[in-house]
Amino acid sequence: MLFLSSRRILIFSWQHFWRNIWLSLVTITIIVLTLFSLTTLILVNAIADYAVNSVKDTVDVSLYFDNAVSEEAIKTLKQELDKIEELKEVRYVSPEEALAQFKETHKDDKDIQSALAELDKNPLGGTLILSAHAIEQYPLIIEKLKDLKADQLAEKIDYNDHQKLIERINNFTAKLRTFVLALSLVFILVAILTVFNTIRMGIYIHRTEIGIMRLVGASNWFIRLPFVIEGLLYAVFGCLVFWLFLALALHFTGDWINGFLAGINFDIRAYLNQNILNILGFEFIVVAIINMISAAFAMGKHLKV
């Protein structure tokens, strides 16, 4: 009997959905827009985090030594620096490696290349490149360098903190996140109201049938469940339509978007492929919950059982 009732409930739900197809399509459209704003929010977060982390990875401290400083002295200093627990890595670049890197970096600059060709000996000294575990530890590391008198041995200490750049990125993305979040909340509210209204209209349209169901002793859940399932159907179809649009959009515009994000080397297709199940699952759950809550509100207000 339970199986038969479940089957009939599903049939009634589908009938509600299909017989008011234009209303259903409007509801699905609102859900698609909601998913669009949610996905945009997720992507903005991902891109912002990626951008900030990319910049953080470039932060380091470089100690440049005069070519008069012996390699042994530099390596002795390196051994002391290796003991600093805040440092993740201390990398020694020999004068020869430094020159090779310099030539590679400026390989298209003819003036620099011709100047280097005229030199008898390597003008560059060794370099120690220090990388911290966390960007916040660099000021402490600088202090420890002073304690080890590294600033007296090195010709120059270069701290590429990019702190201002990181702050600018964070400020910009925070504003963008706030905007997209506000937009998402607006769409979620619109989705709630739309589903509420659709279910309310469904209750009104089927009021005769509902009245007769109550008259002949249909259980309350038999009367209510079709509307709950109808809400779920909107979630299912809304998600399917949106994901189809997303797949098509990525197919045709993925390269253009990646070109736009080339500066931070973020591949939107790769990100979505890696996280597709989490994102789709999260979105479906959000939309399903929104719809069922809206349906419950509509029934509580307009369905007297």
Partner 1 sequence: MIELRNVSKIYPNGTEAVKSVTLHIKPGEFVSLVGRSGTGKTTLVKMLVAEEKPTEGRIILGGWDITRIRTTDIPMLRRQIGVVFQDFKLLPRKTVYENVAFALEVAGYSKKHIEDVVPQILALVGLESKAKEFPDELSGGQQQRVSIARALAHRPKILIADEPTGNLDSINTREIVDLLLKINSFKTTVMLVTHNREVVNSLRKRVIAMEEGHVAYDEEKGRYVL
Q: How far is the CB of 14 from partner 1 (least distance, A)?
A: 15
By CB under 8 A, tell whether 1 contacts partner 1: yes
Burial class (CB in 10 A: 0-12, 13-18, 19+), 208: exposed
Q: Is there binding between residue 214 and partner 1 (CB under 8 A)?
A: yes
Q: Which residue number, 139 or 300, has a Cβ lying nearer to partner 1?
A: 300
CA distances from 292 to 64, 90, 91, 207, 227 (A): 64, 56, 57, 20, 9
Count of residues that interact with partner 1, criterion CB under 8 A: 19
E-strand spans in 15-169? 61-64, 87-93, 127-132, 156-159
Q: By CB under 8 A, name the one of 5, 122, 131, 258 that touches partner 1.
A: 5
Q: Which of residues 64-93 bind partner 1 (CB under 8 A)?
A: none
Q: Which is nearer to partner 1, 7 or 269 (CB)?
A: 7
**Which one of 211, 240, 274, 276 is in contact with partner 1 (CB under 8 A)?**
211
Site for partner 1 (CB under 8 A): which residue of 213, 232, 261, 280?
213
d(CA 168, CA 181): 20
Specify the residue, 19 or 175, whose C-beta has the smaller distance to partner 1: 19
Residue 258 CB-half CA count within 13 A = 14
Q: What secondary structure does DSSP assign to 9-44, as a single string?
A: HHHHHHHHHHHTHHHHHHHHHHHHHHHHHHHHHHHH
Residue 305 found at the interface with partner 1 (CB under 8 A):
yes
- Which residues of the chain form contacts with partner 1 (CB under 8 A)? 1-2, 4-5, 8, 208-209, 211-220, 222, 305
